[in-house]
Amino acid sequence: MINLAVIGAGYWGSKIVESLKGHELVGKLQVVDIKEGMTINDIDADITAAIIATPLWDHLGTVLPLLERGFDCYVEKPMAETANDCEKIKQAITTQTVMVGHIFLYHPALDWIKENIERIGTIKHMDHQRLNWGIYQTKTTPLLSITTHDISIAQEILGSVKVAHVGHTKVTDTVQTDNIQLILENKDGVTANLVTSWYWPERVRKITIVGDQGSIVWDDSSNKIDLYQGYLDGRRLSALALVETHTPDLTKSPLQLELEHFIECIDQKKTPKTDIDNAIAVAKILDVAGEQLNLDVPHHYTSL
C-alpha cells in the first residue's frame, strides 16, 4: 500500500482527492490544505509519496524539499515555470518516481487517434483550439496555464518540435496577455497551430489533424472523434467522406487514468510516460514562446 499526501486542496486538488478514493493500492490519503495554513512540514511521518496541486509558482519550492526527503512526486502541469527549474528538479532525483501531469497524454481519445492515424496518410498539419471564458489569472498566462496541454499533445503526435511563430492579443487591461497563438514545427516541416484563450465567448476544445488521405477531428467538448477520408487526385480534391465516428470510453476519467499510472509506476518501479524529460521538453517550448512574446510573468517562488 502507498501512503499519499495531496498538497493543495483547491479546485484541482479536490478533484485529485476524489479520483484517488478507493484505489486498491492507496493506503493513507492525507490532504495538506495550504489555504488552512498547512505546509509540507505537516505531512505525516508515514507518507512516502506526494501529489503537488499548488499554484505553478509554488511547484519548485515544494518539490525540491520533498525530493530531498525521498518522496515520490507527481507535479501538476507544467512541472515548473522554466526549463532550467525543471532541470533543477531532475538533478534532485535519485531513485524516486517523478511525474508531471500532462493529463491529455492519458486520454483514451489520444490512444485511439494514435492507433488510427495511419488511416489519414502522412500528417501535413495540426490545428488546436482550446478556448474558454475561463478562470482569469494575473500571476500566470494562458501560455503556461493552457497551452501546455497542446504542446504536450503536439509533441506526442509530431515528435520533437520547435517554435516557428508566436502571436498574442491583450483584451483586458492587465500586464498579461489573454489570447495566444503558437505555431510549432517538427523536423519534417509539419506544423501545429495552437490557439488558446481564457477570454473567449465559447468553450472550444478541438484538435484537427490533417493528412494527405484524410483528417481526424477530436472534439473534446462533445467527447467525439470524427475520421474523414479524402485526398488530392491529380489536380482535384476527392470528395471528403466521414467514414467513422468514435466515442472515447470515459468510464475512467483521464485524471483517474493518469493517477493510476503514477501509483503503478511507484509500485512497479517504472519510468512514467510523462517523466521529468517529458516535462523539460514541454518547458523548453514554453520558454522560447514566452521570450518571443516578451511576456512579463513574475516569478513567485515560495517554500511550503
The kind and range of the H/E element at 203 are strand 199-211
Please state, rounded to an integer, the average pLDDT across all residues of the chain.
92
Domain positions in the chain are 2-104+254-276, 108-246
pLDDT for 101 equals 97
pLDDT for 295 equals 63
The class level of CATH for 2-104+254-276 reads alpha beta
Q: Which residues of 81-120 are buried (b: 16+ CB within 10 A; e: fewer)?
A: bbbebbbebbebeeebbbbbbbbbbbbbbbebbeeebeeb
What letter would DSSP give residue 247? -
pLDDT at 197 over 50: yes
- Would you place residue 226 in the very low, low, confident or very high pLDDT band (cuts 50, 70, 90)? very high
Q: What is the pTM of this model?
A: 0.93
Tell me the pairing of strands 161-169 and 199-211.
unpaired
**Choice between 48 and 301, residue whose per-residue pLDDT is larger:** 48
Q: pLDDT tens digit string along 56-93?
A: 999 999 999 999 999 999 999 999 999 999 999 999 99
User: ∠132-207-203 over CA atoms, to 5°?
Assistant: 15
Q: Which three cell numbers stand for residue 115?
A: 492507433
Q: pLDDT tens digit string along 136-185?
A: 777 788 899 899 999 999 999 999 999 999 988 878 776 567 889 999 99
CATH architecture, domain defined by 108-246: 2-Layer Sandwich (3.30)
Mean pLDDT, residues 224-253 taken together: 92
Residues near 180 by beta carbon (within 8 Å), at least 6 away in sequence: 141, 142, 143, 147, 166, 167, 168, 194, 195, 196, 197, 289, 293
pLDDT for 262 equals 98
Q: State which amino acid sits at residue 74.
A: Y
**Whole-Å CA distances, 220 to 109, 165, 171, 211:** 8, 25, 26, 20
